[in-house]
Amino acid sequence: MSRQPSPLARRPEARADRAPAGRAGWHPLGGLAALLLLYLAVPIALYLAHLGGTGRGGPATPGLLGAFATSAEAATISTCLIAVLGVPLAYLLARHRGLLSSVASGVVQLPLALPPLMSGVVLLYAVGPGTFLGRLFGGHLTESLVGIVLAQCFVASPFLVVAARSSFAALDANWDETAATLGLSRLARFWRISLPLAGPGVRAGLLMAWLRAFGEYGATVMLAYHPYSLPVFTYVQFSAAGLPAAQLPTALALGTAAVAVAAARIPVRSPRGKRPAVASARPPAPSMPLAVGFDISTTAGTFCLQLSHRARSHRLAILGPSGAGKSLTLRSLAGLVPGEAWFGNERVSQLPPGERRVGYVPQGQSLVPHLSAWENATLGPYADPHLAAWWLAALGLQGLEGYLPSQLSGGQRQRVALARAFSCHPSVVLLDEPFSGLDAPQRAQLQGQLRRLQLQAGLSSVLVTHDASEAAMLADEVLVMAAGRLLQAGPLLDVVRRPATPEVAAVLGARNFFNGVAASARSVRAHGAVIATAHHGLEAGTPLCWSIRPEHVRLVAPGTPGAWPAKALDVVDLGASCLATVQLDAGLELEAQAPALAAGPGERCWAQLPPEAILVWPAPAPQP
């Protein structure tokens, strides 16, 4: 069957649009880049053109191969020492902030600014023949291979530390924090997660450190004139016989550097994880529901979180606008930030994250990129492979266990994250916006799956969300917060039906907020119109705020008792319903959501405001 070319391929103008971002076209910065490239390439090209024309001697030049071997051996030893000591230092500098870290970073970078010859002078004050260390080792720290290694380590170590620190600092904190909640120790998280992910930067730093050590002259000549390293040998040859005598040593160094750079460019491919054979998938045993409690007082920068609550239900949702402190609350329950916490009647505040047995699903990318779906699902020491196999199958991931996160869709990655959280026999599952970033069909499907699994397995969960409908599906009790403070808490239906303030109502999705005054205990006056309400108990003339949800505004036939004449300003057909903006003849403009609307924009309609659906608060609405 022949393949038809895509419509885009038949449009030359579309290909032209993409040309500047691809291979075609000259970038405005190209001239500056070319100047530096020429400056670096031309001297090497001229040297290669003259190589062999006037050179004296050959590979058998006395001392040449010995000097090369000395430099290569010392550089390799130095790089190994730098790796063993420098990678941990880079990791700690990337993870910690403060005065001590700043001072340590400055110390690491000083050799970069110090001329190598002066670096040798500084080292002589530490390991020279007349120093304590020099006498302790009988003067063998200088004029020896040890002296060359000491000099190379001093000048080359910053190259590794700076590169590796940048790589460690770029890692997503979710990977480390999630692994901590799964029970991995700090050392295990370093070896299994941070080091492999920072591998490209570490390898680049090691390459730069080796090349810098191999070519080091200034500090080396101060500490160890003998035995000759290749740079010292080259200088001696140049001093004795001029430029031609330095050609072969330079060619050897240039070839070595080229080989090292080329070898470093060979891609390092980690084998894709495989799913080990599991005897059988085992469904989760029904668990004892646990309601959480917490008393949190903590800060993050200038943000202050003060929150205390003891839930009655084992399915709790925390709602609030962005920046309310919802995620910080969840991280406190996970043990990642300070705060008192109880799971049922057990106080878990004194336990580290890995011992709280929580299943934590943070926002964003929480799967470890270099581990397969199976390896992610069984990452923690408490993970049960049989249970992991069951959850992966229950979440529709059977057959995808060997795939890396980059090979999965967004919905599949979220399913793996849920399976990982459920596979460790968690006491409580902590879900931080678990469906953010997914399209509507994926979100609805995952919400339905999670609700069924909650009910089947009796999972205790705390859900962070900004979606009231999501909370209604996955929780029985809701906690509404804003700016780090509790606004209202209670059973979900009670809070939705009787929000304590306009702010709570807005968080729960209410719209159509209006200021007015009480006309009586069962009505409000707004824009000169008197609108009937349920009993609100406010005295006549009391300033108030009132609201009605769009789905409670009824668009009815003309002449319906209690209906207000209005005009449709805008109508949006959502398929299953219509969202309309209508303006009552009394002057109020509000949104209405109805199954269907006969009137189009600009046409007359009738709106009914059921008294029992109107919410009233004795305070004006905050200005948007």
Same domain, yes or no, for 240 and 329?
no
- Domain of 223, CATH number, reads 1.10.3720.10
460 and 331 share one domain: yes
Indicate if the pLDDT at residue 4 is higher than 60. Answer: no
Burial 256-281 (b: 16+ CB within 10 A, else e): beeeeeeeeeeeeeeeebebeebeeb
Q: Is residue 314 domain-shared with residue 454, that is, in the same domain?
A: yes
Q: Which of 497, 518, 549 is the last residue of a domain?
A: 497
pLDDT-based confidence at residue 263 (cuts at 50, 70, 90): confident
The answer as to whether 59 is a domain residue is: no
Mean pLDDT to the nearest integer, 71-97: 95
**C-alpha distances out from residue 140 to 91, 122, 269, Å:** 33, 17, 42
Q: What is the pLDDT of residue 60?
A: 55
- 259 and 361 belong to one structural domain: no
Name, in order, each residue with C-beta under 8 angstroms of 612's C-beta and a sequence gap of 6 or more.
534
- Per-residue pLDDT at 28: 86
- The percent of the chain in helix, strand and coil, each rounded to the nearest 5, is 45, 20, 35
481 lies in the same domain as 526: no
Contacts of 534 (CB under 8 A, 6+ apart): 522, 611, 612, 614
Would you tell me how many other CB atoms lie within 10 Å of the CB of residue 597? 20
pLDDT of residue 463: 95
Residue 505 in contact with residue 514, Cβ under 8 Å?
no
Q: Where are the beta strands (DSSP E) in 133-273?
A: none
State the DSSP code for 515.
E
Out of 11-25, 305-319, 425-439, the most confident range is 305-319
CB 156, CB 209: distance < 8 Å: yes
Is there a domain that residue 282 lies in?
no
The answer to whether position 26 is within a domain reads no
pLDDT at residue 595 above 90?
A: no
Q: What is the pLDDT of residues 445-497, one digit of tens each?
A: 888 888 887 887 778 999 999 888 899 999 999 999 999 999 999 999 999 98
Assess contact for 416 and 439: CB atoms under 8 A.
no
pLDDT given for residue 449 in this prediction: 81
Query: CA dihedral in degrees (4, 6, 10, 11; nearest 10)?
Result: 170
Distance between CA atoms of residues 55 and 45, nearest Å: 16
How far apart are the C-alpha atoms of 195 and 382, rounded to whole Å?
A: 22
φ, ψ for residue 546, nearest 5 deg: -135, 160
Instruction: Specify whether the backbone of 463 is left (phi greater than 0), alpha (psi in -120 to 50) or beta.
Output: beta
pLDDT, one tens digit per residue, over 492-506 is 999 998 999 999 999
- pLDDT given at position 156: 96
pLDDT of residue 6: 43
Let me know the angle formed at the C-alpha of 456 by 353 and 479, rounded to the nearest 5 degrees.
55
Q: Look at residue 554 and tell me whether its pLDDT is greater than 70.
A: yes
> pLDDT digit string (tens) for 276-308?
665 577 777 777 889 999 999 999 889 999 999
Domain count, the chain: 3
451/537 same-domain check = no
493 and 513 together in one domain: no
CATH code at position 522? 2.40.50.140
Residue 195 clears pLDDT 50, i.e. is over it: yes
Structural contact between residues 319 and 489, judged by C-beta atoms closer than 8 angstroms = no
Task: Judge whether 285 and 422 are in contact, CB under 8 Å.
Answer: no
**Are residues 371 and 316 part of one domain?**
yes
Whether the predicted pLDDT of 82 surpasses 70: yes
Boundary (domain end) residue, out of 497, 524, 553? 497
- Predicted pLDDT of residue 288: 82
Residue 7: which pLDDT band, with cuts at 50, 70 and 90? very low
Residue pLDDT, tens place only, 502-525: 999 999 888 899 999 999 999 999
Residue 339 to residue 331: CA distance in whole angstroms? 9
Q: How many residues are present in the chain?
A: 624
Three-state secondary structure call for residue 333: helix
Using the predicted structure, report yes or no on whether residue 410 has a pLDDT greater than 80. yes
- pLDDT one-digit tens code per residue, 347-406: 999 999 999 999 999 988 789 999 999 999 999 899 999 999 998 988 888 889 999 999
**Residue 407 and residue 376 in contact, taking contact as beta carbons nearer than 8 Å:** no
Phi, psi of 315 (to 5 degrees): -120, 95
Secondary structure (3-state) at 524? strand
Report the mean per-residue pLDDT for the chain: 88
Q: Using pLDDT thresholds of 50, 70 and 90, give the confidence band for residue 3.
A: very low
Please confirm whether the linkage preceding 405 is cis (ω < 30° from 0).
no
Q: Quick one: 324 and 446 in the same domain? A: yes
Tokens of 287: 């668990």
**Cα–Cα distance for residue pair 324/332, rounded to 1 Å:** 14
Angle, alpha carbons 220-222-223 (nearest 5°): 65
Both 517 and 491 in a single domain?
no
CA–CA distance, 372 with 515 (Å, rounded to integer):
56
Q: Per-residue pLDDT for 238 more than 50?
A: yes
Single-letter code of the amino acid located at 516: G
pLDDT at 217 over 80: yes
Whole-number Å distance between alpha carbons of 143 and 232: 12
Q: What is residue 545's predicted lDDT score, i.e. its pLDDT?
A: 93
Residues 134 and 233 reside in one and the same domain: yes
How far apart (Å, rounded) are the C-alpha atoms in residues 67 and 78?
16
Instruction: Tell whether 29 is covered by a domain.
Output: no
604 residue type, one letter? R
110 located within any domain: yes
Residue 465 lies in a domain: yes
Q: Do residues 577 and 512 share a domain?
A: yes
* Per-residue confidence (pLDDT) for residue 10, from 0 to 100: 41
Lowest mean pLDDT among 32-41, 330-339, 434-443, 577-586: 434-443
Segments of 521-603 assigned E as strands? 523-526, 529-532, 543-547, 554-556, 563-573, 578-584, 589-594
Q: What is the CA radius of gyration of the chain?
A: 35
3-state secondary structure of 469: helix
Question: Tokens standing for 46?
Answer: 């001229």
What is the pLDDT confidence band of residue 270, given thresholds at 50, 70 and 90? low
**pLDDT recorded at residue 53:** 56
In a domain, 270, yes or no: no
Residue 273: per-residue pLDDT: 53
Q: Domain span at residue 95?
A: 64-264
Tens-digit pLDDT profile for residues 16-75: 444 444 455 678 888 899 999 999 999 999 888 888 555 444 555 789 999 999 999 999
The predicted pLDDT at position 577 comes to: 83
User: How many other C-beta atoms can be found within 10 angstroms of the C-beta atom of residue 565?
Assistant: 12
Confidence grade of residue 13 (pLDDT, cut at 50, 70, 90): very low
Residues 503-513 as b/e (b if ≥16 CB within 10 A, e otherwise) read: bbbbbbebebb
Pairwise CA distance, residues 34 & 30, whole Å:
6
- Residue at which a domain ends, from 473, 497, 521: 497
Residue located via tokens 């839930």: 311
Contact 197, 168 (CB under 8 A): no
Q: How far apart are alpha carbons 252 and 266 in whole angstroms? A: 22
Kindly state whether residue 249 falls inside one of the protein's structural domains.
Answer: yes
CATH number where 401 lies: 3.40.50.300
Listed residue (335, 349, 341) closest to 310, CA to CA: 341
- In this predicted structure, the answer to whether residue 145 has a pLDDT above a threshold of 90 is yes
Cα dihedral 221→224→227→231 (10° resolution): -20
Total-model pTM: 0.82
The percentage of the chain sitting over the pLDDT mark of 70, rounded to a whole number, equals 92
